[in-house]
């Protein structure tokens, strides 16, 4: 044993580097600074950490939960942090706010013990912000830790009766304008409203589609996977299931696709067509069903299912997409389709095809994406109310041109991944007035599902159906429409 006196411990201790929290912070900065999407930023960061041997599966799961949870609850955490900081939040540097939000999520949104959440976040602050700002972080986190989430919500959310939209918005981490829009879309009653907001805060399970004629659902039912709820082609992976490990997915015979999207494609494919001359008093022509168009195809999920369905009945799909790189994704999704198809980079509002060319047309139009908030945790805070009218002219124009592109008696599916009435019914109503198209009852073309509403269009819901909130209206072009 050495008799040397022990050296006094240094006042300065190097901060402990915690790769999980550092990675989570980097992802939050990318989302904040570069307007990046978390679901695109995170996977390469995780891959890099795994390749360096820094991460195992549990670390990756924790990093994912920290990033997604912090982003999803950001607006509510900001309200709570604002109560604990003695200056307006806009005067707090964004990286400091990101560390505070990450800390708030650990303290209020996870089972991480309070002392561990505080000390891990303060260590992170020492690494990424420096000692001075770490002290500030420490002081704020200690105030946040004084209450649990329910305690804070009691304090910061107004009473339901005083302001129901703000109350629900803060309690369920949705901006007020989105609460208001979802409420309108649900029909204004209180039924289902809290369930919907809660469902938006759940991470969706991964659903696969077995592309008909190319793969069977049975082939995808390995491990703990279970059949889909509604689509005959759907298989749901168990939590943590990796689609990349499924051979049919690697070979492009199956893909990742929400059941709502599968149902949209299936309903369009099943919609009854009328012969072109029907109603003109002439002889009934055979019902042509040969040529289909997906006018907004990128990245190609619905196009791949439609192309496979078309192939089974000897029809051909043309998949049009305006953005060249997204048209490339469509080509990849359709590769190996058993029947003929074409992918074109084209603007579907200035069609290169003649009016009346197609028997079935899908326009799954660009929209606010308010129906897929559970997939994109940051989207709800990034979207603005003015985005809704911003999409309106394009949505109307795409539907107008789809109704030109389809032949008389053919059917157009108008789909959005948003339940906002201004993006769904309002667009469809305007185009029916303008073109005289007939609105078909889409409900019988979907499986026997509860909560499909009064029709004739359908709105799917995460809390009722476990799908994204896809909207679908089916319109049949009449002879009178578009001067046919
Ligand atoms: C909601 S996404 C379609 C998703 C796709 N149906 C799927 O299931 O994978 C809308 C797509 O329409 C494309 N788009 C937007 N304007 C367009 C236009 N004028 N002509 C053709 N495509 C357009 C966008 O680039 C985007 O890829």
The residue whose CA is least distant from atom 26 of ligand 1 is 298
- Nearest ligand 1 atom to the CA of 397 is 19
Active site residues: 417
**Residue 125 buriedness (CB in 10 A; 0-12 / 13-18 / 19+):** buried
Instruction: Find the 299 Cα to ligand 1 centroid distance in Å.
Output: 8
Burial (CB < 10 A; 0-12, 13-18, 19+), residue 155, is exposed
For atom 16 of ligand 1, the residue with the nearest CA is: 322
Nearest-atom number in ligand 1 for the CA of 348 is 20
Using the mean position of ligand 1's atoms as its centre, give its distance from the Cα of residue 470 in Å. 15
State the pLDDT at residue 480.
59
Pocket probe mutation, ligand 1, options 261, 300, 306, 321, max atoms within 8 Å of Cβ: 321
Residue-by-residue pLDDT tens, the chain, 484 positions: 445 656 555 556 777 789 999 999 999 999 999 989 999 999 999 999 999 988 898 999 999 999 999 999 999 999 999 999 999 999 999 999 999 999 999 999 999 999 999 999 999 999 999 999 999 999 999 999 999 999 999 999 999 999 999 999 999 999 999 999 999 999 877 789 999 999 999 999 999 999 999 999 999 998 899 999 999 999 999 887 889 999 999 999 999 999 999 999 999 999 999 998 755 444 556 799 999 999 999 999 999 999 999 999 999 999 999 999 999 999 999 999 999 999 999 999 998 899 999 999 999 999 999 999 999 999 999 999 999 999 999 999 999 999 999 999 999 999 999 999 999 999 999 999 999 999 999 999 999 999 998 999 999 999 999 999 999 999 999 975 544 4
CA 79 to each of CA 67, 169, 280, 406: distance values in angstroms, whole numbers, following the listed order: 18, 11, 63, 50
Tell me which of 231, 264, 297 to substitute to probe ligand 1's pocket, judged by most ligand atoms within 8 Å of the beta carbon.
297
Asked if 289 and 359 touch (Cβ cutoff 8 Å), the reply is yes
Rounded Cα gap, residues 362 and 347, in angstroms:
14
What distances in angstroms separate CA 438 from CA 312, 374, 411, 455, one per listed residue? 27, 33, 9, 13
CA–centroid distance, residue 234 to ligand 1 (Å): 23
Please give the distance, rounded to the nearest whole angstrom, from the Cα atom of residue 364 to the centre of ligand 1. Answer: 7
What integer pLDDT is reported at residue 188 of this predicted model? Answer: 73
Q: Answer for the pair 475, 412: CB distance below 8 angstroms, yes or no.
A: yes
pLDDT reported for residue 442: 98
Q: Is 255 in the pocket of ligand 1 (CB under 6 A)?
A: no
| Closest ligand 1 atom to 362 CA | 6
Say yes or no: CB of residue 322 within 6 Å of ligand 1.
Answer: yes
Place of tokens 């042509």: 288
Asked if residue 235 lies in contact with residue 328, where contact means CB atoms within 8 angstroms, the answer is no
Residue 315 CA to residue 472 CA, distance in Å, equals 22
CA of 367 to the centre of ligand 1 (A): 9
Q: Please identify, by atom number, the ligand 1 atom nearest to the C-alpha of residue 296.
A: 12
Q: Is the CB of 299 under 6 A from ligand 1?
A: yes
Please work out whether the CB of residue 260 comes within 6 Å of at least one atom of ligand 1: no
Give yes or no for residue 369 CB within 6 A of ligand 1. no
Closest-lying ligand 1 atom to the alpha carbon of residue 417: 1
* Contact criterion met (CB below 8 Å) for 446 and 396: no
CA-based diameter of the chain, in Å? Answer: 112
332 CB near ligand 1 (under 6 Å)? no
Instruction: Compute the distance between CA of residue 320 and CA of residue 339 in angstroms, rounded to an integer.
Output: 17
Residue 288 tokens read as 């042509």
Verify whether ligand 1 is closer than 6 Å to residue 328 (CB atom): no
Ligand 1 binding pocket includes 423 (Cβ within 6 Å):
no
Give me the pLDDT at residue 301, please.
98
């Amino acid at each position: 044993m050495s008799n040397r006196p022990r050296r006094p411990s240094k006042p300065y201790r190097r901060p402990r580097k915690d790769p999980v929290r550092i990675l989570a912070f980097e992802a939050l900065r990318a989302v904040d600074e570069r307007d990046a999407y978390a679901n695109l930023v995170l996977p390469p960061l995780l891959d890099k950490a795994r390749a360096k041997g820094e991460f195992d599966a549990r670390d990756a799961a924790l990093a994912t939960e920290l990033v997604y949870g912090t982003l999803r609850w950001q607006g509510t955490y900001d309200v709570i942090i604002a109560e604990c900081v003695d200056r307006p939040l806009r005067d707090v540097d964004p990286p400091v706010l990101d560390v505070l939000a990450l800390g708030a999520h650990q303290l209020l949104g996870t089972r991480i013990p309070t002392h561990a959440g505080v000390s891990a976040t303060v260590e992170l602050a020492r690494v990424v912000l420096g000692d001075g700002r770490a002290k500030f972080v420490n002081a704020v986190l200690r105030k946040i830790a004084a209450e649990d989430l329910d305690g804070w919500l009691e304090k910061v959310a107004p009473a339901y009766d005083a302001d129901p939209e703000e109350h629900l918005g803060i309690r369920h981490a949705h901006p007020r304008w989105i609460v208001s829009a979802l409420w309108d879309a649900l029909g204004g009653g209180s039924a289902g409203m809290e369930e919907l907001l809660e469902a938006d805060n759940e991470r969706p399970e991964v659903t696969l589609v077995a592309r008909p004629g190319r793969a069977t659902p049975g082939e995808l039912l390995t491990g703990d996977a279970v059949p889909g709820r509604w689509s005959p082609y759907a298989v749901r992976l168990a939590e943590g299931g990796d689609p990349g490990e499924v051979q049919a997915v690697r070979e492009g015979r199956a893909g990742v696709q929400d059941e709502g999207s599968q149902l949209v494609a299936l309903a369009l494919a099943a919609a009854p067509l009328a012969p072109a001359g029907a109603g003109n008093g002439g002889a009934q022509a055979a019902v042509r069903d040969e040529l289909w168009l997906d006018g907004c195809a990128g990245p190609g999920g619905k196009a791949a299912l439609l192309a496979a369905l078309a192939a089974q009945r000897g029809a051909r799909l043309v998949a049009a997409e305006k953005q060249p790189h997204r048209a490339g994704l469509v080509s990849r999704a359709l590769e190996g389709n058993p029947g003929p198809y074409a992918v074109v980079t084209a603007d579907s509002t200035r069609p290169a095809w003649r009016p009346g060319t197609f028997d079935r047309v899908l326009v799954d139009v660009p929209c606010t994406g308010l129906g897929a908030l559970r997939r994109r945790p940051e989207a709800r805070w990034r979207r603005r109310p003015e985005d809704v009218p911003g999409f309106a002219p394009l949505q109307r124009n795409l539907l107008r041109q789809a109704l030109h592109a389809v032949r008389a008696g053919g059917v157009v599916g108008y789909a959005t991944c948003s339940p906002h009435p201004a993006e769904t019914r309002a667009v469809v109503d305007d185009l029916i007035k303008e073109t005289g198209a007939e609105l078909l009852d889409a409900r019988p073309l979907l499986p026997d599902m509860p909560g499909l509403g009064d029709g004739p269009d359908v709105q799917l819901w995460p809390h009722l159906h476990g799908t994204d909130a896809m909207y679908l209206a089916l319109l049949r072009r009449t002879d009178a429409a578009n001067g046919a």
